[in-house]
Amino acid sequence: MSQKSQKRALKTSYEAGPILQTYWAELHAAKNSGKPVAWASGNGPVELLYSFGILPAYPENYAAVLASKQMALEFCQMAESAGFSRDLCSYSKINLGDLLWKDKEKPEMPFGGLPLPPDILVTTRIPCLVQVKWWEVLQDWYHCPLMILDAPLVDDAPTEDQIDYIVVQLKEMIRRLEDFTHTKFDEQKFIKALALSDEAAGYWDDIMDLRASVPCPVGAREMCGNVFPLVALLGTQVPVDFYKKLRAELQSKVEMKAGMIPDEKIRLIYDNIPIWYDLGLFSYVEQFGAVFVMETYLRYVWGGRIDMTDPYRGYARKILSNVWLDMSIDTRFKTLVNDVKKHKADGVVFLSNRSCRRYSIGQYELRDMLQKELGIPSLIIEADHSDPSGYSESQTKLRMDSFLELIKRRK
């Protein structure tokens, strides 16, 4: 599988790497100097942690890093040999396999590995229940405080009661973090973190919108490398500066009508978590004049605007809104139809993700609905997002080739 780094379409994209390096260096420096480090899951209240001066590490994100470096398989096997099910989320298998590693030499871990042990564990049920169970296992191993942000399933817009439910939990988390850090909560710091988070998310939304331009200025592979600051650093200045610059560069690309590829013929939408160990699949299509212009993972999993006129409720509303994993099939369909139209897409590629069924549920129905409503063809490929065992690159490409040929002939 080709993971060779590609020439980037945007100069700013080259800054994502150093941001990642700095983030990891600061994380290890904090740990080494005795400051508390949290292990947090994506979509959690990270802004709150930053306002308490607690740096978060992300086991999920680190699992994706290992997968993208073709290192995932051994960790998955290590977790499986310890009794964890093969069907479990591969992010969790990679992390648990890393922690359970024994009896053979461990490969050199990128960025020096996750800072061990975690001092506090923070998770949420928003993306899935596996997160909670996984963090409970971690608590069992490390005996440190565990904070869980529970969330109801929300379809469309959250109700006022649902927002209340999140606000109550946030306030309880604040109280627990005061106890944990022995410091008083600084509300101004928190409000500032929320404002920074909102500003970065605003730029991100603009960036996603700019990609709807014809030709599309930047593809999926490069944007997968650019999402990290949004995942890990929301609530700090870093993503604000990075995405502001990225947006400006994209705007000028769009004005110049400079496309990701020289002769754009086919515009595609991708649904599900990227196949981290074969990101080359995103660029593979470019030789056929195709480009991925939008991904549900990049648009509806990370970021989200905050109504700063009522910060607590605004934050709660953001946490509960526009999360693809939390949407019903109907809402997913309406959203996808809008995006197909907005991005002038010719087809949708769905990854039926072996170990993320919550993301994958309803894809056959979505495919059927898109065909009926818009006459848009879809392709469903089968793979896991991070566990490469059972992945067939040639079979996947064969399906992709046929799909692109079908679209080309239809046009």
Closest CA to 266 of 210, 197, 345, 368: 345
Side chain identity, residue 174: I
Distance separating alpha carbons of residues 128 and 123, to the nearest angstrom? 10
Of 230 and 268, CB closest to other proteins: 268
Q: Is 399 in the site for other proteins (CB under 8 A)?
A: yes
Of 93 and 367, CB closest to other proteins: 367
Closest CA to 40 of 103, 152, 124: 124
Q: Is 364 in the site for other proteins (CB under 8 A)?
A: yes
Site track for other proteins across 372-391, x = CB under 8 A: -----x----xx------x-
Q: Is 265 in the site for other proteins (CB under 8 A)?
A: no
Q: Is 398 in the site for other proteins (CB under 8 A)?
A: yes
Of 312 and 359, CB closest to other proteins: 359
Of 328 and 392, CB closest to other proteins: 392
Q: Is 169 in the site for other proteins (CB under 8 A)?
A: no
- DSSP class of residue 48? H
Q: Is 112 in the site for other proteins (CB under 8 A)?
A: no
The least distance separating other proteins from the CB of residue 355, rounded to whole angstroms, comes to 15
Q: Identify the three-state secondary structure at position 33.
A: coil
The least distance separating other proteins from the CB of residue 374, rounded to whole angstroms, comes to 14
Helix ranges (H only) for 182-285 are 187-210, 220-226, 228-232, 237-255, 280-284
Read off the tokens for 341: 């139209």
Q: Is 411 in the site for other proteins (CB under 8 A)?
A: no
Read off the tokens for 50: 């930053």
The interface region with other proteins, picked from 37-45, 183-191, 335-343, 393-401 by CB under 8 A, is: 393-401
Q: Is 395 in the site for other proteins (CB under 8 A)?
A: yes
The interface region with other proteins, picked from 110-118, 253-261, 292-300, 394-402 by CB under 8 A, is: 394-402
**How many CB atoms sit inside 10 A of residue 341's CB?**
12
Task: Please name every residue paired with 349 in a beta bridge, in sequence order, or none if there are none.
Answer: 270, 379
Q: Is 87 in the site for other proteins (CB under 8 A)?
A: no
- DSSP class of residue 260? S
Read off the tokens for 184: 């008083």
Distance separating alpha carbons of residues 320 and 169, to the nearest angstrom? 13
DSSP string, 266-299: EEEEEESS--GGGTHHHHHGGGGTEEEEEEHHHH
273-310 burial code (b ≥16 CB/10 A, e <16): bbbbbbbbbbbbbbebebbbbbbbbbbbbbbbbbeeee
Q: Which H or E element spans position 124?
A: strand 120-124
Distance separating alpha carbons of residues 278 and 371, to the nearest angstrom? 28
- Total residues at the site for other proteins (CB under 8 A)? 21
Distance separating alpha carbons of residues 220 and 106, to the nearest angstrom? 32
Q: Is 179 in the site for other proteins (CB under 8 A)?
A: no
Site track for other proteins across 311-350, x = CB under 8 A: ----------------------------------------
The least distance separating other proteins from the CB of residue 375, rounded to whole angstroms, comes to 10
Q: Is 136 in the site for other proteins (CB under 8 A)?
A: no
Q: Is 367 in the site for other proteins (CB under 8 A)?
A: yes
Of 43 and 378, CB closest to other proteins: 378
The least distance separating other proteins from the CB of residue 68, rounded to whole angstroms, comes to 21
Q: Which residues bind other proteins (CB under 8 A)?
A: 352, 364, 367-368, 371, 377, 382-383, 390, 392, 394-396, 398-399, 401-402, 405-406, 409-410
